[in-house]
Amino acid sequence: MIKVAMLSKWHVHAVDYAREAMQHPDIEISVIWDEDSARGESWAAELGVPFEPKLENVLKNPDIDGVIVDTPTSMHKEVILAAAQHNKHIYSEKVLAFTVADCEEIFQAVEQNVVQLMLSLPRLTEDYYLYAQKALDEGLIGTLTSIRCRCAHNGAVADWLPEYFYDKKLCGGGALIDLGAHPIYLSNRLAGPAKAVTARLHTFLDHLQVDDNAAVIVEYESGALGILETSFVSNGSPFQLELYGTDGTIMIEDTSVKIRSTKLSNENWATPSDIPAPIPTPMEQWADAIQNGAKPTITTDDMLKLTQINEAAKQSHEENRRVVIK
């Protein structure tokens, strides 16, 4: 049994991760810590586990095998480094850290202390992504020329996101660094290494201090272009992933997949019959790595390049220029 500590209920997905952990046969939530003691005590009472007000006491506890990190993003580096140094396995909400340098420091600590690190990048385990990757690898759309991905919701308009999600110091940004992570990490996988980024991190609602509507153009080393979109001010916007190649196109909307290709017998739009089954979730992969030494499909490269694009996009917007990735 993997005994874990939930570190903060700050992020909106903390409750989801707690639920997934409780439903996993080999994970047990043993303790709660939160930088907001009142919130942590309430959550601990709800889950029927102890609340520990001092993080150091949680990390020193030899009965705790791992931690699930949902603190403000600004605390990730400090908390994750401390967990690694106390030999705790780490599952974290995205992004891992604000800068590439901070990510590399975390990777070094994780390697030195021989612990498992997992970042929640769940769409890399979904069937529609797996099909897109498979079709691309098999050459069904020829050479990739463009990729577009949009992930957006109405959280700022309908006011269901917590107010602190618009705190630039805590979050490091707004829509792009949070919801925009999904288009970034999916496109990184499908299009490969990036060489330059041009971004606009726009604030549509004047009372917010972070971007609520963002678009990023990514130039990839392959020659392909990426158009990545995210928003907190879009009602009814579907998730969209589009791949355009020299021999075909893949269109994904929510979980619906269709392809048109010169490599198929019929060049009309078709619904693929060979969509792979989803693979284990990030948390399932994390548990398997801890218990059995299994190699996760979500890698430190995925984690690093997510931050790399975010960091370059922020710089592009602030300096009003195209940023070359070195």
The per-residue pLDDT for 27 is 99
Which sequence spans correspond to the domains of the chain?
Answer: 2-119, 123-279
The per-residue pLDDT for 56 is 99
Sheet holding 256-261, edge to edge: 256-261, 248-253, 240-245, 144-152, 225-231, 213-220, 194-202, 323-324
Interatomic CA distance for residues 148 and 38, integer angstroms: 42
Q: Are strands 194-202 and 89-92 parallel, antiparallel or unpaired?
A: unpaired
Q: Are residues 2 and 28 in contact, defined by beta-carbon separation less than 8 angstroms?
A: yes
The per-residue pLDDT for 159 is 95
The per-residue pLDDT for 199 is 99
Listed as ranges, residues in the chain with pLDDT below 70 are none
- Identical fold, 2-119 and 123-279: no
The per-residue pLDDT for 291 is 98
Rounded to 5°, angle at Cα 300 from 223 and 242: 40
What per-residue string of b and e applies to 51-60 under the rule 16 or more CB within 10 Å gives b?
bbeebeebbe
What class, spelled out in words, does domain 2-119 have in CATH?
alpha beta
CA 183 to chain centre: 9
Please give the DSSP secondary-structure letter assigned to residue 133. H
The superfamily (CATH) of domain 123-279 is Dihydrodipicolinate Reductase; domain 2 (3.30.360.10)
The per-residue pLDDT for 265 is 86
Strand partners, 91: 68, 118
Q: Is 239 helix (H, G, I), strand (E, B) or coil?
A: coil
The per-residue pLDDT for 63 is 98
